[in-house]
Each structure stands twice: as structure tokens, then as C-alpha cells.
């Protein structure tokens, strides 16, 4: 049984604690200054990333993806929110950047904005809130595949000028070898190994999180060893937190209002808001490891993503719990709202 730290109905994901711990460990025991510095950590990370996406392909269900194709309006809304609305909201603020520190913070938030949606947490939260589970599986899965191509394109268009000397052709080759090829291989071997991917899904999820934590440790080790954060004050962290919280809230409200305008039923509204506001820490750390590691200020680029990850888990968990509670009460009273009734799309009005 999965252990969580509970305070009443509030549960703190152990993975969030792990994020904090690896940063603390990186501060006191940076890899570059440890006795293990000769170990090929980049090779380990490269192999780990390939295995993550191999297992992803192994668990990807073609049947569920095909079944989910019917609800095309919902899918378009979610993917537009993920890959267009998020980046455009961040791009609006670029003209207000006045110095290198602000540009680095903006770059981190933009990097977060162009990432695909999560898979596991999106489906789990939609299930908890009694949303459209097949649609959530379809959108979360297809988002990861689209992101393999769209995320580097966004980064190439907007950030390429900031990364002088960076060869994006090498990035696409590395993406093909480390991500696309393992996904295809996993799908091809699904007939024989797919059952094992489902059987050991919890263990594979733990493996995914372990690689993520190792990537974060490696990045922050380098940042602390080179004194990156010496000039970064707590007000900078506060600004990043407020910015990503505002970004999440605005996208959540826009997807909710769009769902009402499109006359979605409650299940589809929940799915649109839960899947259309998530960002994948797995894909984020993978792309970060391929593009930014070793560059000046690289560690700071991960901060918005990690803060956003914490915010999305806490707020969506809170909302999912309240929706599940309301669903249970309505079911008992036989007053569960019909498809045409008003659905509250607000995040905190629960």
C-alpha cells in the first residue's frame, strides 16, 4: 500500500518530499565534489531516459487510443491548451524583460509552458473526480507523443537565439535515439511484453521517479558547485511561484469556460480542466537534460517546472477530492447533475 503523509484529508505526495531532499543533498554533497564524480552519470541518465520511454511505449494501449478518438472537440481543446495557450500566455510577457536574471526566469517559465501533459497523474485525478477516463488516457498519452516533436520546435523557434552555438540537429538526432526509437520499440514489443508492463506498472512508475530525481540532483549539483544561486534572492523565488500559480489558474479558468461554451457534460469538463492544465515533469527533466545541462544558469530553468509540478498536484488533488465528495453526496440523493446543468469550473470555489 502506498504510504502518504496525512493531515486530516490532506495528503503530501512522498515524491514532493523526494524533490526537496535531492536538492538538499545536492547542496551539501554536490556530485562534482564527491568521491563518485568519476562515475558516468550522464550515461546512466541517458540509459534511464531511454528505458522510461521504452516502458511508456510498452504500456501504450492502441485500443484505448482508438476508442478515445471519437470525442474530437475535447481532444482539440486539451491539446490547444497544452501546446498553444500555455506558450502564448508566457510569450506575452517577454517584452517586459529587462535584464539577464529576468530573462533566465522567463526562459524557465517558457520551457515549462511548452511541455506536454502528464500521463499517470492526469488519469488518476480524472478517475478520482469521476471524469471521462478513456478521454483522459487518450489525451495524456497522445500529448506525450506530440510533445516529443512540438516541444523542441517551440524551443528551437523561441530560445534558439539564446543558445548560441547549440546545434538543434544534434538534439533531434538524440531525441530520435533516446526517446522516439524506444517508444516505437516498446509499441512493437507490446504484443509479447505488454502484460509485464501492466503487471509491474507501479514498479515502473517508481523507476521513472528515480530517474527524475537523479536528473534533478545532477542539475542542482552542478548549479551549487558553480555557485549559480549566490545572486538569486528569495524574492526571485517568490516571483517565480506567483507567476506559475497565476499561469496555472488562468489556464484552468480558460479551459473551464471553453468547456462550458462547447457545452461539454460534467465528465468532459473535468477531463478538459485536469488534462489541459498539467505539465510533465518526466518530459521536462528529459528535455532539460538534453538541452540545458552544463549551460550557465541551467539549474534555475528547472525551478519553475518543479514549483508548477507541486502546485498542480496539490490544487488538482484538492479539486478532485471535492468533486468526488460532491459526486458521492449527489449519488446518495439521486440528484447527480445532468449534462445540461451548470457545472462549477472554478478552482477554489469548492
Q: What is the mean pLDDT of each run of 10 residues along the chain (350 residues)?
A: 46 75 87 69 84 84 68 94 97 90 90 88 77 81 86 82 60 74 88 88 85 80 69 80 96 96 93 93 82 71 87 81 76 54 48
Picking from 7, 27, 5, 19, the residue whose alpha carbon sits closest to that of residue 209 is 19
- What phi and psi values does residue 240 have, to the nearest 5 degrees? -60, -45
Residues 6+ apart with CB under 8 A from 77: 255, 258, 259, 262, 272, 276
User: What distance in Å separates the CA atoms of residue 119 and residue 279, rounded to the nearest whole number?
Assistant: 9
**Inter-axis angle of helices 181-188 and 190-199, to 10 degrees?**
100
Residue 199 inside a domain? The answer is: yes
The whole-number pLDDT of residue 243 equals 96
How many Å apart are CA 93 and CA 4, to the nearest integer?
A: 38
- What digits encode the pLDDT tens for the residues 66-85? 766 678 999 999 999 999 99
- List, for residues 94-107, the tens digit of each pLDDT value: 999 888 888 888 99
Burial class of residue 38 (count of CB atoms within 10 Å of its CB; 0-12, 13-18, 19+): exposed
For the entire predicted model, the pTM comes to 0.73
Q: How far apart are CA 201 and CA 195, in angstroms?
A: 10
> In this structure, what CATH number is given to the domain that contains residue 150?
1.20.1530.20
CA distance 173 to 177: 6
Tell me if 26 is assigned to some domain: no
| 66 C-beta neighbours (distance < 10 Å), count | 10
**What confidence score (pLDDT) does residue 4 get?**
46
Q: At CB < 8 A and 24+ separation, what contacts does 328-334 make?
A: none
Is 33 part of a structural domain of the chain?
no
* Domain annotation covers residue 247: yes
Number of domains in the chain: 1
- If you count them, how many residues does the chain have? 350
Give a yes or no: residue 32 inside a domain: no
Is 348 a domain residue?
Answer: no
Q: What is the pLDDT of residue 272?
A: 95
Residue 82: per-residue pLDDT? 97
Would you say residue 19 lies in a domain? no
Structural domain boundaries enclosing 289: 39-324
Helix (H) or strand (E) holding 323: helix 298-333
- Distances in Å between the Cα of 33 and the Cα atoms of 203, 211, 220, 325 are 31, 21, 13, 50
Alpha-helix residue ranges (DSSP H) falling in 81-119: 86-91, 100-113
pLDDT at 160: 64
Give Cβ neighbours of residue 256 (< 8 Å, ≥ 6 apart): 269, 272, 273, 345, 346
Indicate the DSSP class of residue 39.
S
C-alpha cell at 127: 478517475
In the chain the beta strands, taken as DSSP E runs, fall at: 5-7, 10-12
Residue 23 placed within a domain: no
* pLDDT in the model for residue 241: 92
Amino acid at each position: 500500500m502506498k504510504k502518504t503523509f496525512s493531515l486530516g484529508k490532506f495528503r503530501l505526495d512522498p515524491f514532493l518530499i523526494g524533490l526537496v531532499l535531492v536538492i538538499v543533498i545536492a547542496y551539501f554533497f554536490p556530485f562534482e565534489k564527491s568521491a563518485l564524480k568519476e562515475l558516468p552519470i550522464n550515461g546512466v541518465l541517458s540509459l534511464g531516459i531511454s528505458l522510461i520511454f521504452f516502458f511508456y511505449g510498452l504500456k501504450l494501449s492502441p485500443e484505448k487510443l482508438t476508442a478515445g478518438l471519437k470525442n474530437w472537440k475535447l481532444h482539440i481543446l486539451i491539446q490547444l491548451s497544452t501546446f498553444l495557450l500555455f506558450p502564448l500566455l508566457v510569450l506575452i510577457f517577454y517584452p517586459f524583460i529587462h535584464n539577464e536574471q529576468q530573462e533566465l526566469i522567463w526562459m524557465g517559465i517558457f520551457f515549462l509552458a511548452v511541455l506536454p501533459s502528464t500521463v499517470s497523474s492526469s488519469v488518476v485525478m480524472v478517475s478520482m473526480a469521476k471524469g471521462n477516463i478513456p478521454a483522459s488516457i487518450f489525451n495524456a498519452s497522445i500529448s506525450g507523443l506530440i510533445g516529443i516533436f512540438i516541444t523542441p520546435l517551440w524551443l528551437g523557434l523561441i530560445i534558439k537565439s539564446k543558445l548560441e552555438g547549440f546545434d538543434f540537429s544534434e538534439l533531434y538526432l538524440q531525441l530520435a535515439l533516446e526517446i522516439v526509437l524506444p517508444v516505437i520499440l516498446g509499441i512493437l514489443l507490446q504484443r509479447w511484453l505488454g502484460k509485464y508492463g501492466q503487471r509491474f506498472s507501479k514498479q515502473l512508475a517508481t523507476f521513472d521517479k528515480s530517474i527524475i530525481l537523479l536528473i534533478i540532483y545532477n542539475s542542482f549539483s552542478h548549479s551549487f558547485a558553480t555557485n549559480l544561486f549566490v545572486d538569486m534572492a528569495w524574492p526571485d523565488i517568490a516571483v517565480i511561484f506567483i507567476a506559475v500559480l497565476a499561469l496555472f489558474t488562468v489556464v484552468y479558468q480558460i479551459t473551464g469556460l471553453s468547456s462550458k461554451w462547447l457545452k461539454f457534460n460534467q465528465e468532459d469538463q473535468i477531463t478538459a480542466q485536469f488534462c489541459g492544465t498539467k505539465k510533465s515533469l518526466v518530459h521536462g527533466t528529459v528535455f532539460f537534460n538534453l538541452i540545458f545541462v552544463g549551460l550557465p544558469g541551467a539549474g534555475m530553468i528547472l525551478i519553475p517546472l518543479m514549483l508548477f509540478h507541486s502546485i498542480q498536484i496539490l490544487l488538482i488533488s484538492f479539486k478532485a477530492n471535492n468533486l468526488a465528495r460532491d459526486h458521492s453526496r449527489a449519488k446518495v440523493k439521486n440528484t447527480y447533475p445532468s449534462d445540461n446543468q451548470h457545472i462549477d469550473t472554478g478552482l477554489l470555489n469548492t
